[in-house]
Structure 1
Amino acid sequence: MSLTNVSAFRLLCPLIVCSALATGCSSEEGPADAPPRVALVQSLQPADASSGPLRFAGVVRSAESSQLAFEVPGRVERFLIDEGGQIERGQPLAELDSTDYQLQLREAEARVAQLEADLARKRTLQTEGILAPAAVEQLQAQVVSAQVARDTARRNLGHATLKAPFPGTVAAQLVEPQMVVSAGTPVLSIQSDGPIEVRVDLPETAASALPLDRTLQAEGELVTSGASIELRYKEHSTQPSPGGRTYQLVLQGEPPAGHTLLPGMAVRVRLNRPAAQETDESQGFRVPLSALMSSPAGDHFIWIAVDGQAQRRDVEVVSLHEEYVVIRGERLERGSAVIVAGGSQLSDGLSVRAQERR
């Protein structure tokens, strides 16, 4: 070997060694592992879990409320009680200026007195044979007409004072003093002190699952204080609300001691549904429709996240609903993490990172 060839060989040797080492290192490390796929999961629950209590937002309203109005027109002279004041049945609440009605009554009473005196004189003349009976009969009719006018004036004067039809609380004053109001114009709003009512809007699914009768078990909780209210069924609507598919349920109960309940206050309402009957559906599990998969052969299955891996579970469909499906099968356990999204991208044993669905 010439000197030139030896020199060239010495230069190439380090490069060959480094290349071999690099090749060896690369073959030992292998390809990088793919990160686990994120899987949205939901706890597997028995289908009969739906027989538990339902919770809704309710609104307090008075069991008996009324807007009071004068039965005669006039100028509101004064209110005799403030808003929020307690009232008794028959208690005067407001008065109109009664001057005109007093004058009308005085005039009517004077008219009656005059006609009755004339009638007494003519009856005397009739007994003496001076007047014919027809003259007396005509005057008797005038007396009756005057008495009706007097009684009407007396009634109108009495209606110039507005009185409470039942015990309760003045909720609102609807007009101001010195305003002229016509007959029938509401001037006061009052509420009874008796049982309160709680209104709940039920969606279709809840309305169909609840016994809407006196067997319904219900309980309320005041949002502001947490005090509980025992509620009982009163009535429900059979027509859906305008613009929505909800049905109004009205519950009734007594206010808790030491608490003032006013219309519009918020209440958390719990409605107990009847215990589930022993049916095929009650023996299965309830999962979202998105969790149910189908094979080309028509078999159904779901994916369960177990120890960081997706595992297939073959299932039988018991019943289909609008938003969920009831299934049953072997190796299904309550509380298992059912993968509810992306099942078509999974395979048995695929690494997954479970993330609870919110």
Structure 2
Amino acid sequence: MRSHWFFTGVLALIIPFTAMAQEEAVQPAPKPVKLMELSNRPVVLQRQFFGQVAARQTVDLAFQVGGQLLALSAEEGATMPSGALIAQLDLAGYQRAVAQTQLNYDKAQRDAKRLESLQGQAVSAVQVRDAETTLRLAEIALESAQDNLGHATLRAPFDALVARRLIANYQTVTAGTPVVRLHDISELRVDIEVPEVLFRQAGARDQVEFSAVFPGDDRRFPLNMREFETETSSVGQSYTITLAFADNPGAFVFPGASVTVYTSAEGIAPNGTVVPKTALIYGPAGEAFVMVYEDGTVRQTSVEIEMHEDGLLYLIEGLSDGTQIVSTGASQLRDGQPVRPFTRIGE
């Protein structure tokens, strides 16, 4: 009988401690929450756009005269220095034309000098003027023939990247037929489409920073503003902004490559402290609360808010600048619940 009483007493002492240990073992881990710091200072506005790399200029070179193409030295993907030979027509016919007009000019020059020396004797002033006119016409014909000979050769107008050959060698071409497409890569640029609202906001600020990121590369390349279109596109009411790389992004970056452009600008200082709607909890009587973060826990705190004409909610009373509150999902928390700041996905 005494033994039974002894074991009963021991069990009475052990069971409460066991229950307490189990309760401590199942205590939930602190819940990750996204925090924000209340402040009425200007915020940094950031946006992301998708664009394409573009050359400073792209041209399709064409002959101003016709003929058979005998030399096409532009290899696709090759770089050509300014003045380098791109293509050339058969020059024989144009060289003969220059020689013929040169002879006509020389004869007209001799005739004009002879008649001028005989003026007043057997030659009238009208004959002298006619000879001078013939000389001038011969000079013009010679200049035209020389121009045509020069137009039968195409040279790179700038340091160029050969994008594409548009015709085959030995083909007969007419004047104005594109022969080769060249990119001016002395400065690589990026074109992005910016919505009208953001375009106006960017224009109202003194400093907007741009940077570019290529797929598979975490490096950011600074961009500078070059120009922008002052007419919106027919679809989407967006403006085209052209940016330029401050430094060469490296080899194998060609026009047409995809790029992500990040922009950042300091926003206008709000007229008060803005509280996001997702941070608010409402009581039965419509009173507003937020969850304030302190020392690993949250406490429900009453605040007074009002909505301004801009559609944002502003804090009137309850908290001071620098206070950290839960910015999203505050309604899913309880007063005094252990939490921890959310830093990244998957932690």
TM over 0.5: yes
Q: Does 1:316 align with 2:299?
A: no
**Could you tell me how far apart the structure 2 residues matched to 1:222 and 1:312 are?**
45
2:231 alignment partner in structure 1: 239
Question: Cα offset for 1:53?
Answer: 2.5
Alignment of 1:1-358 (within 5 A): 51-126=44-119, 129-211=121-203, 215-256=207-248, 258-277=250-269, 279-281=270-272, 283-287=273-277, 316-319=305-308, 325-328=312-315, 330=318, 336=326, 338=328
**2-structure distance, mates of 1:240, 1:178:** 44
**What code does the residue aligned with 1:159 have?**
H
Q: Aligned to 2:263, what secondary structure does the other structure show? A: strand
Residue 145 of structure 1: SS of its match in structure 2? helix
Deviations 1:177-233 (A, max 9, x none): 233433333322222232211112122343233247773222222224333322112
SS in 1 for 2:148: helix
Displacement of 1:74 in angstroms is 2.9
Following the alignment from structure 2 to structure 1, what is the Cα–Cα distance between the partners of residues 301 and 287? 10
Letter in 2 for 1:110: L
Alpha-carbon displacement from aligned partner over 1:26-84 (angstroms, at most 9, x marks no partner): xxxxxxxxxxxxxxxx9575697962432222321112332222222333332122122
The whole-number CA distance in structure 2 between the counterparts of 1:317 and 1:44 is 21
Measure how far apart 1:263 and its partner are. Answer: 0.9
Structure 1 vs Structure 2 CA RMSD: 4.0
Q: Structure 2 counterpart of 1:106, which letter?
A: A
Identity %: 22
TM-score by length of 1: 0.67
Q: Check 1:161–1:118 CA distance in 2 against 1; reply closer, same or farther (3 A cut).
A: same
Q: Which amino acid aligns with 2:76?
A: E
Distance (whole Å) between structure 1 residues aligned to residue 99 and residue 42 of structure 2: 76
Q: Which amino acid aligns with 1:171?
A: A
Q: Is the 8 A contact 2:69 2:89 kept in 1?
A: yes
Matches of 1:82 and 1:192, distance apart in 2 = 16
Shift of 1:301: 5.3
Shift of the alpha carbon at 1:134? 1.9
Larger radius of gyration: 1
User: 1:210·1:274 contact (CA, 8 Å) conserved in 2?
Assistant: no
Alpha-carbon deviation of 1:125? 3.8
Distance 1:241 1:257, change over 3 A: closer
Indicate how the Cα distance of structure 1 residues 266 and 162 shifts in structure 2: closer, same or farther if over 3 A, else same. Answer: same
Conserved 8 A contact 1:284-1:318: no
Are the aligned partners of 1:303 and 1:339 in contact in 2 as well (CA < 8 Å)? Answer: no
Deviation digits for residues 248-286 of structure 1, max 9, x if unmatched? 222112443643321111222221111542x335x1122
Shift of 1:312: 11
Q: Secondary structure at the match of 2:167?
A: coil
Partner of 1:19: none
Q: Distance in 1 between matches of 2:207 and 2:319?
A: 38
Matched position secondary structure for 1:273: strand
TM-aligned CA deviation for residue 287 of structure 1: 3.1
Q: Secondary structure at the match of 1:54?
A: strand
Change in 2 beyond 3 A, CA 1:245/1:113: same
Letter paired with 2:253: L
In structure 2, the CA distance between the partners of 1:131 and 1:203, relative to structure 1 (3 Å rule), is closer
- In the alignment, the residues of structure 2 paired with residue 296 and residue 180 of structure 1 have an alpha-carbon distance, to the nearest angstrom, of 87
Cα distance in 2 for partners of 1:81, 1:192 equals: 15
Change (3 A) 1:227 1:148: same
Given that 2:207 and 2:265 are in contact with CA atoms closer than 8 Å, whether structure 1 keeps it comes out as no
Q: Name the CA distance, whole Å, in 1 between partners of 2:124 and 2:276.
A: 99
Partner Cα distance (1:84, 1:96) in 2: 22
| Shift in CA distance, 315/182, structure 1 to aligned 2, threshold 3 Å | farther
Structure 1 residues 74 and 50: alpha-carbon distance in aligned structure 2, compared to 1, 3 A threshold: farther
The answer on whether the counterparts of 2:88 and 2:152 sit within 8 Å (CA) in structure 1 is yes
Q: Distance in 2 between matches of 1:67 and 1:136?
A: 48
Contact 1:70 1:184 in 2 (8 A): yes
